[in-house]
Amino acid sequence: MKILVINEPFTAYFCRTQRWAARTRGRVVRAPDWLAYATAVLEKRYSGQVALYDFPARNWGRAEFCDLIKREEPEWVVLDSTTPSIYSDTGYAKLAKSLSPQAKVIFVGPHASALPEETLRAAQGAVDFVAIGEYDYTVCDIIEHYRQPERIDGIAYWADGQVYRTQPRDLIENLDDLPFPAWHHLNLLDYFDGGKLHPYVDVISGRGCPNRCIFCLWPQVMHGFKYRFRTPSNVVNEMEYAIKICPQVQERGEFFFEDDTFTVNKKRAMEICEEILRRDMKIRFSVNARVDTANDELFKLMKRAGCRELLVGFESGEDSILERAHKGITLEQSRQFMALARKNHLDVHGCFVLGLPGESRETARKTLDFALSLGLHTAQFSGAVPFPGTEYFRYCESQGLLLTRNWSAWLLDGEQRGVVEYPGLSAGEIDQLVDDCLKRFYFRPSYMLHFLWETRSWPDLYRKLRGTRNFLSYLMEKSLGRKNSSHSKYAADD
């Protein structure tokens, strides 16, 4: 039996692993970490019969997909799904079945999880099963018990022209039981993010998030609101495992803790840092953090253990917008967080969202001014996207703010596109405000000089220059109004 787990193509630089699937303005290429976990689980049960392919990282398109399916003739194909790519994803399911008639197709990922019945009906038999939410073990159970799907929790399935859905599956409580991600199927040097040292490897030390931001996709659709932890020794064991596969991550790169909020539990975060120090690993890492978790003792220990940067969702420069978004923080907390980060010599990457409920041109200007005032090392500005399954999506639909449910219209030539319009603030204006904020932040002469002055090494200079080139190419393509001519190479339209 052959099982193929595939991060399928859609459009050049399309990044489906991130929370807001799109081509990022910095052309980030992220490893398919969730698929790598599912692959590892499958390998434990079906040793030698499983392969993971990341098409975007290899710059492969539709032709390579067809060649792979014809050559391998798989019995099972696991495909990821996102909202902007869902019609193309379904097209790849149809391709797989046409080229390998015995193949059964499983969809995983946020779009199919949020709208499993709609996805199956639209696919009309091209997709056999949807693994809803956290799918590490679900995919295995489908393959093992597919003849009795009603016995499998957490799925929807297509049978005899009808859609059926089983009872919800419990979240994985003992994360230590999961095998480490199947990085051996991938070339970890292929992945790049201009804001991180190169190469970087994701570590997911816990799943779920106790916070209730209305726009955040992962806890609402995939991993829940309960933050479940792995033990510190298990986490650091995985880091040592990754170093054996990609020694460059220790030599010149970094680890990135992809937990929604690594710092939400101070005791446990400190225990991981202490384990790193106990093993004398000499590594660098960055983490996702929240401003209401700032703690001098924690930051000091994180710095000693090798922490380089904190990635923080400040989101807005207007308290009323933070309140409407259920962010649970204030601007004053953000300022206090920055003071503690500077004291402990930790870089901060600030994340800001334009277009949340209550946004106006004036509040967007306040957000830019706030971002410029914080002393951030780097920043990103994004337009708010109401993905299906989130409270923000339900709000936009109920208020008549959502421009379309035609998922193919959620990107413009692969780029993020506004799909929410407020009275007095159009989707196009939100898109333009995002670009204006990015240019105002990064094109300050003082910032550019400081950014280069802090260059640590030739590899550090390389990732900065590559990241700059990627961003400039985005701006140039947009200013010239170019279409993404490579789209047809990648997409398999439904």
Tell me the sheet residues that pair with 159: 162
Q: Where are the beta strands (DSSP E) in 295-362?
A: 307-315, 347-354
| pLDDT above 90: residue 455 | no
pLDDT score at 485: 41
pLDDT > 90 fraction of the chain, expressed in percent and rounded: 83
With both helix axes pointing from N to C terminus, report the angle between 266-278 and 296-305 in degrees, rounded to the nearest 10.
30
pLDDT score at 408: 87
DSSP string, 50-103: EEEEEHHHHT--HHHHHHHHHHH--SEEEEE--TTTHHHHHHHHHHHHHHSTT-
The predicted model gives 403-424 an average pLDDT of 86
Q: Which residue has the higher pLDDT, 35 or 469?
A: 35
Distance CA 185, CA 23 (A): 24
The length of the chain in residues reads 494
| pLDDT above 50: residue 399 | yes
Written as six digits, the tokens of 126 are 């091209």
The domain 193-384+420-442: what is its CATH number?
Answer: 3.20.20.70
Other Cβ atoms closer than 10 A to 55: 21
pLDDT score at 414: 66
| pLDDT above 70: residue 482 | no
pLDDT score at 480: 66
Res. 129 pLDDT band, cuts 50 70 90: very high
Distance CA 378, CA 372 (A): 10
pLDDT score at 494: 57
The predicted model gives 456-485 an average pLDDT of 68
The predicted model gives 278-297 an average pLDDT of 97
pLDDT score at 418: 86
The predicted model gives 136-142 an average pLDDT of 98
pLDDT score at 457: 75
* CA-based torsion, 95, 97, 101, 105: positive or negative: positive
Pair 445, 376: CB distance under 8 Å = no
pLDDT > 70 fraction of the chain, expressed in percent and rounded: 96
Distance CA 317, CA 364 (A): 8
Instruction: Identify the helix (H) or strand (E) that includes residue 255.
Output: strand 254-257
175 Ramachandran zone, left/alpha/beta (phi>0; psi -120 to 50)? alpha
Q: Which residue has the higher pLDDT, 484 or 140?
A: 140
Residue-wise pLDDT tens digits, 74-90 = 999 999 999 999 999 99
The predicted model gives 347-364 an average pLDDT of 96
pLDDT score at 488: 59
| pLDDT above 50: residue 484 | no
Phi, psi of 184 (to 5 degrees): -65, -15
The predicted model gives 464-479 an average pLDDT of 73
pLDDT score at 486: 44
Written as six digits, the tokens of 27 are 């052309």
| pLDDT above 60: residue 366 | yes
Sketch the domain layout of the chain as residue ranges.
3-165, 193-384+420-442
The predicted model gives 249-271 an average pLDDT of 96
Superfamily of domain 3-165 in the CATH hierarchy: Cobalamin-binding domain (3.40.50.280)
Residue-wise pLDDT tens digits, 204-238 = 999 999 999 999 999 999 999 999 999 999 999 99
Mean of all residue pLDDT scores within the chain? 93
Contacts of 184 (CB under 8 A, 6+ apart): 245
Distance CA 40, CA 47 (A): 10
